[in-house]
Amino acid sequence: MDGVRYGRLGERYREMLGSRCPSCGAEYFPPVRVCRRCGGRGTKDHPMPREGRLVSFTVLNVASAEFQGEAPMAIGLIELENGVKVMAQVVDVPPSSLREGMKVTMVARPLTKADGAFLCYKFVPAG
Amino acid sequence: MAGREPSTKSNGVRRKPARGFRGRPSLLRRVFIASVGLVNVGKHPEMGIADLMVEASVGALSALPDAAPDRVVVGNMFSGVGCGQEHLGALLSSSLGYQGIPAYKVEAACGSGGAAAHNAYLSVKAGESDCVLVTGVEKMTDLDTAKVTSALAMADSQEYTASVGATFISLNAVTHRLYLSRHGVPKEDMAAFPVMAHRNALSSKHAMFHKAVTAEDVLSSPVMSDPIRLLDSSPVCDGAASLVLVSEEMARKVSSPLVEILASEVAANIFSIYERPDPLEYAATKAAFRRAVDRSGVRPEKLDFLEPHDAFSITSALSLESMGLSPAGRAPAEAAKGRFALDGDLPIGTFGGLKARGHPVGASGTYQLAEAYMQLAGRAGPNQVSGAKVGMTQNMGGVDTTTAVHILASAN
Ligand SMILES: [Zn+2]
């Protein structure tokens, strides 16, 4: 990841900063300008809850060019406590211990070994 | 050459005059495919992206010696990162010796070919064109595996999917796992899709693979992104497929077999699977399919075959089920029982599909349409679905993020 892009996204990545529609209360991550529920165009930045549940997951063995040397990587589809779903890496857990329904917590971790300065939301087992 | 009236009756579908959306009488024109051209799918180090496009295009045009396209539409996903080449519309029209006609590229990730055909269809239907060359093309094998993986991930969010490490396969893998657990589907049943695809490709001249595989082979192949294995996945390859779309007036002047496009529909979904209420719902496929059925008047049970977007085993299952062609959670079991085989109740992937014919991503939509043409023109050789009169194609960009559905019927 280059510095310019991280400059734009860093806060979103570190804090899992999404958005909320003041008209209907719908919450979003990734953030949106236009509310998909009510069509409101005045959404505001809003942090996401850190606790969630693993809906599904995969361990990928073939990584993209930007993640060379990172595979195998566990990628989870996580439903947060507010119902918002995100795709993110699941770390600090052997792949064989991953289970659907498992409770997980968001942490900010270096995006890759090579991009140590760029922190990004990842998930670890809760508790 | 003898002129010929395109039939409104012999395909058994259009007994009434053409109707517009929601039954309004249409003043718009009928659209036919008059010929197709294919490059054999595979690794083509000897051919650049222009060579691929030109070979398929010349193949399609050579069947129509008196036709000159008045528009060129290219379907392609990632020629920019794939081979450093953009501006494909003009590159193709110029390479074919045309000047001054509209020529441009249409992009909708792996659904680019279907979207390009849709654009060409609209142009003929609206009376803006009488003869349109549509060429889908992708040159993937100049890239190494990591770079292809990055290129394919462009189908989804760069900033919130690819940049956090997810790949395109991993998106499909989480839906695959969720599907197995939600419906209690055994993984052996999922393997029926690639087994069938490879069987159909054995006698498919333009297919990449000519090798049968067993369910055991599928389930012991290397894990790409679990539960997706190598043999659940369509291959990285090069290819190009062309169609010539003509108006009714032009159709009377050609001697090649005619296939009518009864409906061409495109729908876009909420962008990423994790933003959708149910990640397993293919809402774009559902919407495009529903509109195509309404517009064509073809009842789904009348389809003689289907070319679905079988990029992965899971996309076959979810595509069939979201169109209501199989009950939820049942498509793999029905596949294992042979319902979708060439001699089954609803043959799918009749030349091997994306899985075994190959998936040169931006070209797959035009391969599907070319294959549908071959079936409906009675030119499918050993892969012929007997008595095929009406068929459908379904081509997705992303995980059902943009989907094009076409319904076609033989018109001879
Ligand atoms: Zn709202």
Q: Express each pLDDT in B176-221 by its tens digit.
A: 999 999 999 998 999 999 999 999 999 999 999 999 999 999 999 9
Same domain as A25, residue A8: yes
Q: What is the CATH number of the domain that holds B254?
A: 3.40.47.10
Tell me which chain A residues have a C-beta less than 8 angstroms from the C-beta of B170. 58, 60, 75, 87
Same domain as A56, residue A28: no
Domain count within chain B: 1
pLDDT given for residue B18 in this prediction: 46
Among chain B residues, CA nearest to A1: B163
Determine whether the interchain pair B146/A30 forms a contact, defined as Cβ–Cβ distance below 8 Å. no
Same domain as A60, residue A19: no
Determine whether the interchain pair B146/A63 forms a contact, defined as Cβ–Cβ distance below 8 Å. yes
Determine whether the interchain pair A60/B224 forms a contact, defined as Cβ–Cβ distance below 8 Å. yes
Q: Output the six-digit token pair for B55.
A: 């070979």
CA pair distance B394, B368, nearest whole angstrom: 8
A115: domain range?
51-125
Q: Is B201 within a domain?
A: no
| Residue A126: strand, helix, or coil | coil
How confident is the model over A37-59, as a mean pLDDT? Answer: 97
Same domain as A41, residue A95: no
Q: How far is A45 from chain B (nearest CA, A)?
A: 16
pLDDT given for residue B149 in this prediction: 97
Q: Is B110 a catalytic residue?
A: yes
pLDDT given for residue A73 in this prediction: 97
Residue in B206, B309, B359, B406 annotated catalytic: B359
- B396 vs A15, B4, B93, B347, CA distance in Å? 33, 35, 26, 19
How confident is the model over A23-39, as a mean pLDDT? Answer: 98
Q: Across the strands, what pairs with B60?
A: none
CB contacts < 8 A, A to B, total 116
* Interchain CB contact of B270 with A (< 8 Å): yes
Q: Ligand 1: distance of its center to the CA of A43 in Å?
A: 8
Same domain as A55, residue A111: yes
pLDDT given for residue A117 in this prediction: 87
> Is 0.90 exceeded by the ipTM?
yes
- Per-residue pLDDT tens digits for B105-152: 999 999 999 999 999 999 999 999 999 999 999 999 999 999 999 999
* Interchain CB contact of A93 with B (< 8 Å): no
Q: Is B131 within a domain?
A: yes
Same domain as A79, residue A112: yes
* Interchain CB contact of A67 with B (< 8 Å): yes
Same domain as A43, residue A57: no
Other CB atoms within 10 A of residue A83 CB: 11
pLDDT given for residue B412 in this prediction: 78
Query: Please, which pLDDT band fits residue B27 given cuts at 50, 70 and 90?
Result: low
Q: What is the CATH number of the domain that holds A81?
A: 2.40.50
Write down the pTM of the prediction.
0.95
Chain B, 187 to 226: residues with Cβ < 8 Å from chain A are 222-226
Same domain as A118, residue A63: yes
* Interchain CB contact of A60 with B (< 8 Å): yes
Q: Is B282 within a domain?
A: yes
pLDDT given for residue B30 in this prediction: 96
pLDDT given for residue A1 in this prediction: 82
- A97 vs A74, A92, B174, B348, B386, CA distance in Å? 11, 10, 16, 38, 50
pLDDT of B155 higher than 80? yes
B263: domain range?
24-143+235-410
Nearest to B406 by CA among B384, B376, B361, B382: B376
Q: Is B17 within a domain?
A: no
Query: Please, which pLDDT band fits residue B6 given cuts at 50, 70 and 90?
Result: very low
Same domain as A109, residue A62: yes
Q: Is B197 within a domain?
A: no
Tell me which chain A residues have a C-beta less than 8 angstroms from the C-beta of B181. 56, 100
Same domain as A58, residue A104: yes
Q: What is the percent of chain B where pLDDT is above 90? A: 92
How confident is the model over B58-63, as a mean pLDDT? Answer: 97
Query: Please, which pLDDT band fits residue B26 given cuts at 50, 70 and 90?
Result: low
Domain count within chain A: 2
Tell me which chain B residues have a C-beta less than 8 angstroms from the C-beta of A58. 170, 173-174, 177, 225-228
Select the residue of A56, A61, A88 nearest B223 (Cβ to Cβ). A61
Q: Is B354 within a domain?
A: yes
- Per-residue pLDDT tens digits for B305-357: 999 999 999 999 999 999 999 999 999 999 999 999 999 999 999 999 999 99
Q: What is the percent of chain B where pLDDT is above 70? A: 93
At residue B174, what are phi and psi to the nearest 5 degrees?
A: -70, -30
pLDDT of A66 higher than 60? yes
Q: Output the six-digit token pair for A25.
A: 């209360």
pLDDT given for residue B66 in this prediction: 86
Query: B111 and B51 in contact (C-beta within 8 Å)?
Result: no
pLDDT given for residue B13 in this prediction: 42
- Per-residue pLDDT tens digits for B257-285: 999 999 999 999 999 999 999 999 999 99
Same domain as A109, residue A71: yes
pLDDT of B17 higher than 70? no
Same domain as A77, residue A109: yes
Tell me which chain A residues have a C-beta less than 8 angstroms from the C-beta of B177. 56-58, 100
